[in-house]
Amino acid sequence: MKKWLTIGALVSLLVPMRIVAHRLDEYLQATIFSVDANHVQGLMRLVPGVAVAPAIIRAIDKNHDGSLSDAEQQAYAQSVLLDLVLSADGRPLQLDLVSVEFPAIEQIEQGIGEIHINFSADLPAHTASRHLIFENRHRPAMSVYLVNTLVPSDKNIQITAQSRNENQSMYQLDFTQTETASSQPVSQRNVMPRFSGFAAAFRLGMHHIAEGTDHLLFLLVLLLPAPLLASAARWGSCAGVRVSLLNVVRIVTAFTLGHSLTLALSAFGPITLPSRPVEVLIAVSILISAIHALRPLFPGREPAIAAFFGLVHGMAFASALSSLGFGGWYRLVSVLGFNLGIETMQLAVVAATLPSLLLLSRTRAYSTLRMAGALFAVIASSAWIAELLFDMRTPVDRAVESVARYGPQLAAALFILSLACWMTHNPFAQPREARTADIPA
């Protein structure tokens, strides 16, 4: 029982969903669509990681003079469009380049440069039910893909379904369109409703935690010793349920306040840091919280540590939020929506694991779980630090991802196992005859 309990708890507590560190050896290609009655528009944000940046620069800078001319920018953008396939209702669409924006070569080399490519296409004759299919075939060997669609500004267009393949290189959008949609002036159709940015940002916040839960790994490892009391530089007896819950609430709240503050400040400009130092600090935060789970480093001060490192995590959240590209009022709404999306997913994961954590902390198996979980986090965070500092490639990501996809199922199995283990160790769960037999005459 203890063996399976430890394995199940380790997987569900530390990898409730896909855990991926922010990678330097990948070419991130995020595409956001908007549709109206007669057109579809796409915004691509391409971010080469440090390790793949030289190859992308060579593909753009054809004459190798160390600068990106307008002609080279236009040529690369057109080559990207040639690798995109977009069809509507079974008919291939012609993609027209609208605008391009390239960062300086130095920014691309540092992994912080974003290439922006805007394109559009005319939709075929109006039909009531429409099916848009998009496929991105640009540099598949080194790329990761994201794709989504903004809420239509035209009330006569309703999105009915979205689907993606596993790596999001292929995307299908289904929507309905009434006859009156095409009669609206173009100036009205292109105006985004005030709260469409909120919905898109909310989904992006949830997706950011689900796909890159290094933030949750920090929080969950910090919660491992929350139900315990420290004694003589060691983790000792179990605290009461009320004390344990208060500790968890304080830690989660402190982390939320910390990352919410720097998310807002970073999103509006006063605070900015290069991406690599931020990612290194995030990995360091996981390492420190893991060591603390092994031996008390700051007993009773976990909320302060969560708030401090939450400031760092918030700057990483801000870089993900920038993929929506909103400004002004829409940026304010998107910050709120993105942060609420993060909190929703974060609280869902904590709520799914907390009952098992509290039950197991009342059993002898919890010490094994805590040690195993902390060691797992030490190994993962150390590998991520090595990747970031020395441009190394380790098998940690692949190993974690191979089991993380079963996180929800493992979390459910863990709760059943933790309940069974708790009943085994709880004297009040024994039959009445067994309890009275222990009472001396």
pLDDT over 90, % of the chain: 25
Q: Is the CB of residue 246 less than 8 Å from the CB of residue 240?
A: no
d(CA 147, CA 408) in angstroms, rounded, equals 24
- 164-173 average pLDDT score: 91
- In this prediction, residue 10 carries a pLDDT of 44
d(CA 77, CA 71) in angstroms, rounded, equals 10
Count, residues in the chain: 441
pLDDT one-digit tens code per residue, 174-226: 888 775 444 444 334 343 444 445 776 787 778 777 766 688 788 889 888 88
pLDDT one-digit tens code per residue, 9-19: 444 444 444 33
Q: Encoding tokens for residue 296?
A: 């008390």
- In this prediction, residue 78 carries a pLDDT of 93
Least confident of 102-111, 319-328, 375-384: 319-328
Sign of the torsion formed by the C-alpha atoms of 268, 273, 274 and 276: negative
- 77-106 average pLDDT score: 91
Torsion, Cα of 90, 95, 100, 105 (10° steps): 70
- In this prediction, residue 173 carries a pLDDT of 92
- In this prediction, residue 116 carries a pLDDT of 95
Q: What residues does each domain of the chain span?
A: 2-21+205-429, 27-177
Note the pTM of the prediction, 2 decimals.
0.57
Higher pLDDT, residue 20 or 42:
42
- In this prediction, residue 366 carries a pLDDT of 85
- In this prediction, residue 360 carries a pLDDT of 84
Q: Is residue 164 over pLDDT 50?
A: yes
Q: Is residue 118 over pLDDT 90?
A: yes
